[in-house]
Amino acid sequence: MKISFHGHSVVKVETDGKTILFDPFITGNGSTDLKVEDVKVDVILLTHGHNDHVGDTVDLALKNDARVIAPFELAEYLEWQGLRTHGMSIGGSHTFDFGTVKLTQAFHSSSYTDYETKTIIYTGMPSGILLTVEDKTIYHAGDTGLFSDMKMIGELNDIQIAFLPIGDNYTMGPEDALMAAKWLDAKRVVPIHYNTFPVIEQNPDEFVARLPMETGLVMKVGDTIEM
């Protein structure tokens, strides 16, 4: 299994002939190395409905006939646009042909903004995602503040790698993300959701340096690890 980071909260997982993308914000993302026209994807996992997470989901899903897995209301909204979706809710899990997906809590908001019509569309509860493939569990926290049930998530799951937001303002900042990392007790912790916009500028190296030795990993855009 290969896992790569592509800026903001975009994470790619390649496993058993399948390509899975978390939160594919590409167009308008100055920190990504991806181009929509070049992306091949089988499954898109969405944590919530904000534009910088839904991103290019519609174009990618239609072009690749990709399945979109998302919180229920967001999945319904995307299905109305012709996408092949699977809606889920927090606490629920489902086993697919590529692995198992479970949604966790995330303390944030979730809506999609149409800037042309100045319309905000409610897209249900935000979530984190536990993805288990090849007997390894990946935790993508999505956008969230710190919450104490992260300790329970860590106790109930053997997390190999956790992707945690550190940008502050909209999500956890570095201090809270350090506590989240302690509670989750993941083998590796990768910071995400920082430096895309001025308001979320952070130093990921400083964050990682404060984690237990060999736990933290700063993944630069395009970096890939094998598990």
Query: Tens of pLDDT along 157-187?
Result: 999 999 999 999 999 999 999 999 999 999 9
In a domain, 45, yes or no: yes
Per-residue model confidence as pLDDT tens digits over 97-119: 999 999 999 999 999 999 999 99
Assess if residue 227 is contained within a domain: no
- The reply to whether 172 falls in a domain is yes
Q: Smallest Cα–Cα separation from 72: which of 83, 85, 60?
A: 85
The total of structural domains in the chain comes to 1
Does the predicted model carry a pTM greater than 0.85? yes
CB contact set of 207 (below 8 Å; sequence gap of 6+): 166, 174, 177, 178, 191, 216
- Tell whether 199 is covered by a domain: yes
Residue 1 pLDDT = 96
Inside any domain, residue 99? yes
Is position 226 within any domain? no
Paired with 146 in beta bridges are none
Domain that holds residue 44: 2-219
Strands 224-226, 43-45: pairing is: unpaired
Q: Is residue 84 part of a domain?
A: yes
11 within domain boundaries: yes
CATH number of domain containing 59: 3.60.15.10
